[in-house]
Structure 1
Amino acid sequence: MPGHGFFTKAATTLLTGLVGATAYEVLRKAVAKAPLHGTAVTAAEWGLRGTRRAEEAAESARLKLADIMAEARERIGEEAPTPALTDIEDHEH
């Protein structure tokens, strides 16, 4: 029966399609009911908090490295350079 294999594959494909369509409809309805604005705000809040923590960690690491470099320069008798400051009066708009 050469047609039996074809019908088996067709039935399997049809069943897979029906399951996929049903899952899509359930998900679509769930998303329609979800408070998208609140979810977006929460996601943005987490992103901002993560960014701020990363900035704090980077600044802390920079300061620790500067302390280590200053101490190393001091040990070899080299004078540590003063922190760079920009001249505010030369700033042009």
Structure 2
Amino acid sequence: MTVGPVVRRAAQTLAAGVLGVSVVGGFRRLLRAGAVRNGAVVAASWTLRGKRSMEAGAESARLAMADVVSEARERIGEQSPPPGAGTDRHDHDHEH
């Protein structure tokens, strides 16, 4: 008789269905508990901390390079521009 393979196949299908329902039910419980949202908030906070850390590092590097350039100008007898004086100046007026 070939009842064995049919029963085995039915048992596998039933087990897959029960597993699928369990996974969906667990996911729904997580959504209701706010765990997914909490995880997203934690990930966003890590991203913001990382971004701020990178910005601080970039600012430190910029200031260090400005010190090097200032010292190099001093060695060749040039005067460094005052802090905050940008190089984006232009010599024409804007009509308002």
Give TM-score scaled by structure 2 length.
0.55
Structure 2 residue corresponding to 1:34, chosen from 18, 23, 30: 30
Matched letter for residue 58 of structure 1: M
Number of the residue aligned with 2:47: 51
Q: How far apart, CA to CA, are the structure 1 residues paired with 2:81 and 2:65?
A: 8
1:14-63 residue CA offsets vs partner (Å, 9 max, x unmatched): 55433321210111222333353622431232133112202211211111
Give identity over the alignment, percent. 13
Larger helix share, 1 or 2 = 1
Count of residue correspondences: 81
Structure 1, unpaired ranges of 5+:
85-89
2:58 matched to 1:62?
yes
Give TM-score scaled by structure 1 length.
0.56
Number of the residue aligned with 2:90: none
Structure 2, unpaired ranges of 5+:
75-79, 87-93
Q: Which has the larger radius of gyration?
A: 2
Sort the Cα spacing of 1:77 and 1:41 in 2 relative to 1 into closer, same or farther, 3 A: same
